[in-house]
Amino acid sequence: MLIRIPKSSEPRPSEITPESVYRGRRTFLKTSALGAALLAGCSQAEDEVVSGGGELWTTPVKGPFSTDETPTPYESVTTYNNFYELGTGKRDPSRNAHNLKPRPWSIAVEGECARPGVLDIDEFVRPYALEDRIYRLRCVEGWSMVIPWVGFPLNTLLSRFEPTSRARYVAFQTLYDPQMLPGQRRKVLDWPYVEGLRMDEAMHPLTLMAVGLYGKVLPNQNGAPLRLVVPWKYGFKSIKSIVKIRFVDKEPPTTWNRAAPDEYGFYSNVNPDVRHPRWSQRKERRIGEFLKRKTLPFNGYADEVAALYAGMDLRKYF
Ligand SMILES: Nc1nc2c(c(=O)[nH]1)N[C@H]1C(S)=C(S)[C@@H](COP(=O)(O)O)O[C@H]1N2
Ligand SMILES: [Mo]
């Protein structure tokens, strides 16, 4: 059974910001002369207006774990994407982003927890303080970026639902809606996209729920209105546009593992010593750079997370 459970200690959305700053701003852009001009102009401008980049409802504070490496330019972060629900080409997600409407949006949290619920996105995330966190992202395909995310630790959100001792894993699900996500009209993957983490991975302070990047609202092509960011794992673990979170007692199925189990394991920790069956994972190309870099174990986050896997054979549990 699903119930709505905003905790009384948490501020109401209306106490934090007047009626939907986010929505109001977008409406302004769409109806004003400026908005009309932008919408009538080149498609790039249209993408930016309709698919994110607006003001957040609160100013992010500087969070922990940020790299001091130079962030990948906004242009690349928002036009070189993997989001198969919006097309399989790197530029498809930004081109098709306008189909996705990140409001209204609700998220169901269910399974092994004392307080399951279905919450509206704004009610859901506004009580949390937002942080700026600059993380490396390493795609399994061999490229990487440095992305200044805005978000909050996943653990603050999960605790609110009071997972029980039977909750050993967390399963995540992306929206299934072929209108908003036209890539789902073709069965290139088993829709909806699903992912999962072990409970201790989900609760780790590095694991982020992102609602923005570069200090602004998350563009649709990057997984609006909220997406996971697990920086020590290959990019595909960082599931976009989440509508469901489920606490479970067994390892949940994951989309890429189901598609090619010998190529993509459940853990998918960045590991230069374990090659993908079709290519080496020793090096990566940072988007915007010419020479390749060495890929680091756990994507450079070993000090923070290696202990989670103490005693595990990471060739077997790849
Ligand atoms: N729902 C969904 N989430 C997804 C994907 C996807 O196709 N669908 N692609 C993944 C992959 S392979 C990567 S590398 C990252 C890319 O995130 P970015 O486009 O924000 O850089 O998103 C991940 N999350
Ligand atoms: Mo990826």
Please work out whether the CB of residue 193 comes within 6 Å of at least one atom of ligand 1.
yes
Q: Residue holding tokens 């919408």?
A: 39
Residue to mutate, 141, 172, 191, 236, ligand 1, most ligand atoms under 8 Å from C-beta: 236
Q: Are 219 and 51 in contact (CB under 8 A)?
A: yes
| Residue from 207, 262, 194, 200 nearest 233 by CA | 207
- Give the separation between CA 226 and CA 114, rounded to whole angstroms: 23
Can you tell me the distance from the alpha carbon of 123 to that of 121, in angstroms, rounded to the nearest whole number? 6
- The ligand 1 atom at the shortest distance from the C-alpha of residue 83 is 7
Q: Encoding tokens for residue 75?
A: 């242009």
Taking each helix axis as running N to C, give the angle between helix 21-31 and helix 33-40, from 0 to 180 degrees, rounded to the nearest 10.
Answer: 70
CA of residue 195 to ligand 2 center, whole Å: 13
Q: Give yes or no for residue 191 CB within 6 A of ligand 1.
A: no
Give the Cα separation of 210 and 207 in Å (integer).
10
Verify whether ligand 1 is closer than 6 Å to residue 143 (CB atom): no
CA separation for the pair 14, 35 (Å, rounded): 27
Model confidence over 107-121: pLDDT tens digits?
999 999 999 999 999
Residues in a beta bridge with 174: 242
Question: What atom in ligand 1 is closest to the CA of residue 223?
Answer: 20
Our CA dihedral for 24, 215, 212, 113, rounded to 10 degrees, sits at -100
Res 166: pLDDT:
98
pLDDT at 123: 87
Q: Which ligand is nearest to the CA of 137?
A: 1
Domain 14-309 has CATH 2.70.170.10: no
Judge if the beta carbon of residue 201 lies within 6 A of ligand 1.
Answer: no
Q: What is the pLDDT of residue 238?
A: 99
Structure tokens at 160: 């609110």
| pTM summary value | 0.86
pLDDT at 317: 97
Whether the CA torsion 240, 241, 245, 249 is positive or negative: it is negative
Ligand nearest to the CA of 84: 1
Cis previous bond, 297, omega within 30: no
User: If we measure between CA atoms, which residue out of 148, 149, 131 comes closest to residue 64?
Assistant: 131
pLDDT at 27: 36
Ligand nearest to the CA of 141: 2
Closest CA to 11 of 126, 166, 108, 96: 126
Interval between CA 28 and ligand 1 midpoint (Å): 30
Residue nearest to atom 20 of ligand 1 (CA): 222
Residues whose CB falls within 8 Å of the CB of residue 76, separated by 6 or more in sequence, listed in order: 145, 287, 288
Q: Which residues surround ligand 2, an ion (CB under 5 A)?
A: 82, 139, 235-236
Q: Do 111 and 246 contact (CB within 8 A), yes or no?
A: yes
Q: Please report the pLDDT score of residue 148 as a whole number.
A: 98
Query: Distance between CA 314 and CA 281 in Å, rounded?
Result: 14
Residues of the chain with pLDDT under 70: 1-50
CB atoms within 10 A of CB 224: 24
Between helix 21-31 and helix 43-50 the angle, nearest 10°, is 150
**Considering only CA atoms, which residue is closest to atom 19 of ligand 1?**
81
Whether the CB of 83 sits within 6 Å of ligand 1: yes
Output the CA 138–ligand 2 centroid distance in Å.
Answer: 7
